Amino acid sequence: MWVPRVDAAHLPQGVFLGTPDTHSPARYRWAIMSERDTQVKICGITRLQDAELAVELGAWAVGMVFFDASPRACSLAEGQRITTSLRRKVELCGVFVNAQMEEIVDVSEQLGLTLLQLHGDEGPSFCGEAARRTGARIVKALQVSGMADIQDAARYHTDFHLLDARSTEPGYEQLRGGTGETFDWALLAGRRSKVPLILSGGLNPGNVGEAIERVRPFAVDTASGTESAPGIKDPAKLRDFFAAVDRAAFASPAPATMPEETVSPGESSQEAMPSIGSTT
């Protein structure tokens, strides 16, 4: 089933069409940003009830993994239920790992995704082409084990950078996210990119407050840290996570907010976005 494009004449009040020649719903600047200082992305969603609770608690984005090897893989049928129910209420993020471009485009079109998280070995030109062909904003995810990984992210002029931990457990080094491991946040002191930062990797209700106070990212991302089992969210952990984010917001100055306009598919985010998670 293909999701129809939204005509500008039928846009809800408060929605801005990003560029005159872009008709994908993904390019609109939704007026749904949470009032909290640090946004929250809840990833590994496989059930509508979990996505609905995340939105009720104030999530900026919900992430659905379309990678069969993941224990948190979301079916297209459930993805359709989630996106149909929550469109215009939250950013709808599809997570892909080294998928073919046609698969990414097809899933994005079917579900009306507004964000694409590319969590594999996709290069800068691939990310740019995905943005051009889908109209979605791009989150380039990179695994971090040292400063070289932080510096490598600068090659990607995407809408967001998501920095995740590279697993140090024997046999798990090739896993892409959801490991429950953190990386050394002190490495981010050397980050100079102006692309908004989504901090990921082992975040849970017990450590997300410290992460926000030390890094001050645009958003924090959690998967395993708010689960009762892979792909199944724990309502109490979700509530505790949001509460911890809000407590941290009161304890530290607010980070920069999103700009008034989205980045066009061919525009460099480094020029259009404020400095987030950077020492500059």
By annotation, the residues acting in catalysis are 43, 164
Instruction: Note the Cα 234 to chain centre separation in Å.
Output: 20
State the Cα–Cα distance between residues 139 and 156, nearest whole angstrom: 10
Type of residue found at 47: R
How far apart, in Å, are the Cα atoms of 6 and each of 26, 107, 108, 170, 237?
Answer: 10, 17, 14, 47, 36
Place of tokens 């002191």: 189
Q: Where are the alpha helices (DSSP H) in 94-161?
A: 101-111, 124-134, 147-152
CB 101 within 8 A of CB 124: no
Please, what's the largest Cα pairwise distance for the chain? 55
Dig out the tokens for 253 from the structure.
């100055």
Any residues with CB less than 8 A from the CB of 190 and at least 6 apart, and which? Answer: 147, 150, 151, 279
Neighbour count for residue 77 (Cβ, 10 Å): 9
Q: Strand pairing of 91-96 and 219-222?
A: unpaired
- Identify the DSSP state of 154: G
Q: Output the CA torsion sign for 218, 224, 228, 231.
A: positive
How far apart, in Å, are the Cα atoms of 31 and each of 56, 74, 118, 218?
Answer: 16, 27, 25, 17
